[in-house]
Structure 1
Amino acid sequence: MTAGESPLQPKVDAFLRYLRVERQLSPLTQASYAHQLTALVVIADDLGVAEWTQLDVSHVRSMATRSKRQGLQAASLALRLSALRSFLDFLVGRGELKANPAKGVSAPRNGRHLPKNMDVDEVDRLLDIDSTDPLAVRDRAMLEIMYGDGLRLAEMVNLDCGHIDLDAGEVRVVGKGNKERKLPLGKSAVAWLRHWLALREFFAPEDNAVFLAKTGKRISMRNVQKRFAEWGIKQGVESHVHPHKLRHSFATHMLESSGDLRAVQELLGHANLSTTQIYTHLDFQHLAQVYDAAHPRAKRGKS
């Protein structure tokens, strides 16, 4: 039986109309709900559920298990269960269900993925841009400040000329939650910012942005991502280069050199120390690899 032939489908259709007419959700969101609920209707039919009033917690758990067996990853499974909870809340609100059996069922947690970073040699290769082309000079300045201060992409794009004091070697950054922090600029970043700012006027600036597109407007985040990826290829960097990878590399290299977690937290603008602590795991992984490769007692059991 297809979802369209199922006795469960009319209630789903009513919910989708509610999302479209009353909630006025975007077409993309509506399509996502429809996709997830159609898949759930098929599974519910297979489980012998003829009416939504028959659905209980054990059914919901079975739906989650079957979805996982179909190859659904944790994030997609969480999305599917969220769609089911919203739909069943809708039925509860209409008095068609007494309680929502999906409330007590949660998707498995996503594993915490460690960020990937470049090693120092890769960063040096990436930053070895020696060109008089104004766009290349701009890109080198962006790469220098991104890696030199571990900025978020939005923080760098939103920099205005008044945020930078090259004589003092400082930059003022407005981060998440509109929180402001002051960061030191390294010598290389200062040098390339001076070089870029001397060329900036040729772009006929339309606002006070530090970094401009060819049009004279503030450069977009998408443009930065594209340019960084292109430079990674040009400079022979094996891994894909993107702005967040430079931020990760900054954090990892700072921790490896200083071991000062609190200082790195301040530099990155993390509200919670636990967010910064992920980089200690990266550092430990590196140390463990060195240990396994070099220490005689790590080779126990090997012939």
Structure 2
Amino acid sequence: MELAQDFTEFLQHARVQQRLSPRTLRIYTDGLERLQAMLVEAAIDARNLNIAQARRLAALLHREGLAPKSIALLLSVWRSAYRWLGLQGRVTLNPFDGLRAPKAPKPLPKALGVDDAVQLAAYAPEAAADPVLEARDRAMVELLYGAGLRASELTGLDAQASGQAAGWVDLQANEVHVLGKGGKRRSTPLGKAAAEALRAWLAVRPQVVAAGEAALFVGSRGHRIAGSTLRATLSARAVAAGSPAHVHPHMLRHSFASHLLQSSGDLRAVQELLGHAHITTTQVYTQLDHQHLARIYDAAHPRAKK
């Protein structure tokens, strides 16, 4: 399709003055060709397009099944074109100003199945390359899944409670104390398996920790473990354990929440354990629970067979 002169000149401006990349120019061209085709079909003059008509065009994109991100991209292209036309004095208003695409649904958090999570937590290699770091890695997995900690909360734990500590573990009370988002402190119960793994790590920690290092979990050089090291270690351990998906620290937090909710149904309790400020943040796990129930129904109910 041959573009109208206004749109052709805008693309020339974008190429020369804005120095847009060829790929971006292709996106702009495709977007303007689509707009022009819609205007022609609706018998609307591009320079006289009003706000109500622009809204109908956006609604039409939605009805055609375009994803919210695709609609947002088109509206951005059209908005830029009309902004330039306004600067050139060719239109009196930008009908796409303030027009936003529908919000994309938030993806559900990814959680491991109960059996897969337990398998990962219980994983123990037959011959660990470094028994000390193996004890550390097992304790980290147990805390991530058993206490629902964020990666930053885990790496921020100190070996001893102090006024400067962002978090610590009280093995006598079987509790984990952390400083979460927004500087909010919370305490989470520590399960038997996690407590045992942590005691095993603390028994060998002096062999690797650097002098004066307060961190509970340290890297191979003896200093506080970095988030990137935690992610790489967990990913490799999950592969070795036969986990069916790429596993990252937050997936174990999601698994902690989802499995608790499946067993208890107590949304408020899960909210407190996760440290969510708003119950709506926690409610996303009810959708995971519904998916779990739906899978059970599909697999077990005689009338669910397709």
TM-score normalised by structure 1 residue count? 0.75
Query: 1:169-196: CA deviations, max 9, x gaps?
Result: 2222222222221111112222222222
Query: 1:117-151: CA deviations, max 9, x gaps?
Result: 22222122112233562222211111110001112
Name the larger-Rg structure: 2
Residue 148 of structure 1 aligns with which residue?
146
Whether the 8 Å contact between 1:146 and 1:247 is mirrored in structure 2 is: yes
Gap change, CA 1:188 and 1:94, over 3 Å in 2: farther
Residue 247 of structure 2 aligns with which residue?
241
Whether the 8 Å contact between 1:117 and 1:245 is mirrored in structure 2 is: yes
- Secondary structure at 2:96's aligned position in 1? coil
Whether the 8 Å contact between 1:61 and 1:105 is mirrored in structure 2 is: no
1:178 aligns with 2:203: no
Q: How many Å separate the matches in 1 of 2:24 and 2:194? A: 47
Residue 20 of structure 1 aligns with which residue?
none
Deviation (angstroms), 1:260: 0.8
Whether the 8 Å contact between 1:43 and 1:66 is mirrored in structure 2 is: no
Residue 199 of structure 2 aligns with which residue?
194
2:268 to 257, 262, 266: 262
Gap change, CA 1:203 and 1:110, over 3 Å in 2: same
Q: How does 1:53-64 map to 2 (within 5 A)?
A: 56-57=50-51, 58=53, 62=57
Whether the 8 Å contact between 2:10 and 2:84 is mirrored in structure 1 is: no
1:227 aligns with 2:233: yes
Counterpart residue identity of residue 10, structure 2: L
Residue 9 of structure 1 aligns with which residue?
11
Deviation (angstroms), 1:295: 3.7
Gap change, CA 1:33 and 1:46, over 3 Å in 2: same
Whether the 8 Å contact between 2:145 and 2:252 is mirrored in structure 1 is: yes
Counterpart residue identity of residue 234, structure 1: A
Residue 123 of structure 1 aligns with which residue?
117
Instruction: Among all aligned residue pairs of Structure 1 and Structure 2, give the percentage whose two residues are the same amino acid.
Output: 41
Query: 1:215-249: CA deviations, max 9, x gaps?
Result: 33332222222221111111112222221221111
1:169 to 160, 164, 174: 174
Whether the 8 Å contact between 1:15 and 1:90 is mirrored in structure 2 is: no
Q: How many Å separate the matches in 2 of 1:210 and 1:89? A: 55
Query: 1:28-82: CA deviations, max 9, x gaps?
Result: xx99987765654554566689x9856654468658967998x974335435535
Q: How many Å separate the matches in 2 of 1:96 and 1:216? A: 66
Q: CA RMSD, aligned part only?
A: 4.0
Counterpart residue identity of residue 9, structure 1: L
Counterpart residue identity of residue 110, structure 1: A
Q: How many Å separate the matches in 2 of 1:153 and 1:168? A: 23
Q: How many Å separate the matches in 2 of 1:254 and 1:133? A: 31
Counterpart residue identity of residue 68, structure 2: A
Whether the 8 Å contact between 1:160 and 1:210 is mirrored in structure 2 is: yes
Whether the 8 Å contact between 2:177 and 2:186 is mirrored in structure 1 is: yes
Deviation (angstroms), 1:281: 2.0
Gap change, CA 1:291 and 1:75, over 3 Å in 2: same
Deviation (angstroms), 1:251: 0.8
